[in-house]
Amino acid sequence: MPGFSTRAIKAASRVPDVPQPPVNVPIYATSTFEVADATELAELLAFERPGHSYTRYSNPTHEALERALAELEGAEAAHVTASGMAAIHGVIVSILRSGDEILIPRAVYGGTISLARSVLERSGIGHLAVDTTDAAAVMAAITPRTKLLWLETISNPTTALADIAALAELAHDRGVLVAVDNTFASPALANPLAMGADVVVHSMTKYIGGHSDIVGGAIVGSAARVAEAREIVVTSGGNASPWEAFLALRGLKTLALRMERHSSNALAVATALEGAPGVGAVRYPGLASHPQHALACRVLRGGMAGGMVAVDLEGGRTHGERFLGRMRVGVHATSLGSVETLVSHPASSSHRQLADADLPAAGLTPGTLRVSIGLEDVEDLIADFVGAASPG
């Protein structure tokens, strides 16, 4: 009879049969999976047969989330990653080679700018920032080196919208692929693949997770495109965690409800702040004053415009800092897309890599606040924000 330790390890590793499917997808907290022979393992590692070998490559909890995301984005496939940045890196590096160039929006998540500057440049991949709300400017910026046009459905942090369908048509005519970061809209508000995008990425840290308790990302698109990006992610160690994939699956179940409340709260706060003392401008796609309001009404589902608002305070950097100190409901923290209202100051956080002189080109001022409206009672949010913005 084997010794106690041997018996304990074997006994505690037996996976039960589950005749009644659990209502929730289990967390497969295992780094590795037993195989019958070396051929099976080799085929699994090459993604040549269904199943799992090692969690850096795949895991059943990841697979459940990938299938859900693919379905909700109207795609063939998805691959989940450690973070939104791992997804962005995987997509870009799988498409571009040394000597190629990517076009990025002038107003784009600061981490994407950092990736271009600190990682892509070292590999000889160039980047050019363009105003993606201007199709003629995008076309003029395309050169024979351009391989990828990067867009955000709703830009971080300016809330500008690019016309994905029009730009995809023009880019494809020039042999340029289009990738869309759909983090701000989430699959509940927009499906960029249906508008002509070739691949979509998400930071699941935001609306998909929805509770500021996970960091994760996703790549969504055709099976071939996702497989190419997956190779980069798997090889560079950007895999998701089954624990966080579980929380992302839970988040998906309430995503539509949360987006409705984020959108209605944000519209009410943006409306109250427009013209309020101390406020220079409010940028929210749901406001008639937003430059792409008509486009937002056309492309965002159900007349919703999401929870992200950009507020330009009249008094610049000092006014922004005073606002953050005065808030009682909103939380001064980076990140977005959560149940609690989060407010950050891009000039000193997400866009700290830009000098003050470069902020206007990214659509920012030193006094711009990025506001991620949460699910609190809207009267409390309005009172908090109007009070904090007041110059007195």
Q: Which of 100, 181, 198, 384 is catalytic?
A: 181
Q: Is 312 assigned a catalytic role? A: no
Residue 92 touches ligand PLP, criterion: CB under 6 A: no
Binding mask 49-88 for ligand PLP (x = CB under 6 A): ----------------------------------xxx---
Question: Do 275 and 386 touch, CB atoms closer than 8 A?
Answer: no
Q: Which is nearer to ligand PLP, 84 or 320 (CB)?
A: 84
60, 105, 111, 192: residue in contact with ligand PLP (rule CB under 6 A): 111
Closer by beta carbon to ligand PLP, 133 or else 205: 205
**Is position 163 annotated as part of the catalytic site?**
no
Q: Is 183 in the site for ligand PLP (CB under 6 A)?
A: yes
Q: Is 181 annotated as catalytic?
A: yes
Least distance from ligand PLP to the Cβ atom of residue 14, Å:
36
CB closer to ligand PLP out of 156 and 338? 156
Our CB check for ligand PLP shows the closer of 44 and 255 to be: 255
Binding residue for ligand PLP (CB under 6 A) from 217, 221, 286, 363?
A: 217
Does 152 bind ligand PLP (CB under 6 A)? Our answer is yes
Using rule CB under 6 A, residue 109 touches ligand PLP: yes
Place of tokens 């937003």: 290
- Counting contacts by CB under 6 A, is residue 181 touching ligand PLP? yes
Written in H, E and C, the secondary structure of the chain is CCCHHHHHHHHCCCCCCCCCCCCCCCCCCCCECCCCCHHHHHHHHCCCCCCCCECCCCCHHHHHHHHHHHHHHCCCEEEEECCHHHHHHHHHHHHCCCCCEEEEECCCCHHHHHHHHHHHHHHCCEEEEECCCCHHHHHHHCCCCEEEEEEECECCCCCCECCHHHHHHHHHHCCCEEEEECCCCHHHHCCHHHHCCCEEEEECCCCCCCCCCCCCEEEEECHHHHHHHHHHHHHHCCECCHHHHHHHHHHHHHHHHHHHHHHHHHHHHHHHHCCCCCEEEEECCCCCCCCCHHHHHHHCHHHCCCCEEEEEECCHHHHHHHHHHHCCCCEECCCCCCCCCEEECHHHCCCCCCCHHHCHHHCCCCCEEEEECCCCCHHHHHHHHHHHHCCC
Q: Shortest CA distance to 306 belongs to which of 205, 194, 207, 163?
A: 207
Strand partners, 77: 221
Cβ at position 300, least distance to ligand PLP in Å: 15
Size of the site for ligand PLP (CB under 6 A): 14
Q: How far is the CB of 26 from ligand PLP (least distance, A)?
A: 24
Of the pair 56, 322, the CB lying nearest ligand PLP is at: 56
- Cβ proximity to ligand PLP: between 276 and 324 the closer is 324
Tell me if 205 contacts ligand PLP by CB under 6 A. yes
Strands across the sheet containing 368-372:
279-283, 308-313, 368-372, 342-344, 331-332
56 assigned to active site: yes
Tokens encoding 386: 């109007």
Please identify, using beta-carbon distances, which residue of 83 and 191 lies nearer to ligand PLP: 83
Least spacing, CB of residue 113 vs ligand PLP, in Å? 11
Among the listed residues 203, 239, 241, 344, the single contact to ligand PLP using CB under 6 A: 203
Residues 311-340 that bind ligand PLP (CB under 6 A): none
Site map for ligand PLP, 250-289, x if CB under 6 A?
Answer: ----------------------------------------
Active-site residue numbers? 56, 109, 181, 206
Query: In the complex, which residues of this chain contact ligand PLP (CB under 6 A)?
Result: 83-85, 109, 111, 152, 156, 181, 183-184, 203, 205, 215, 217
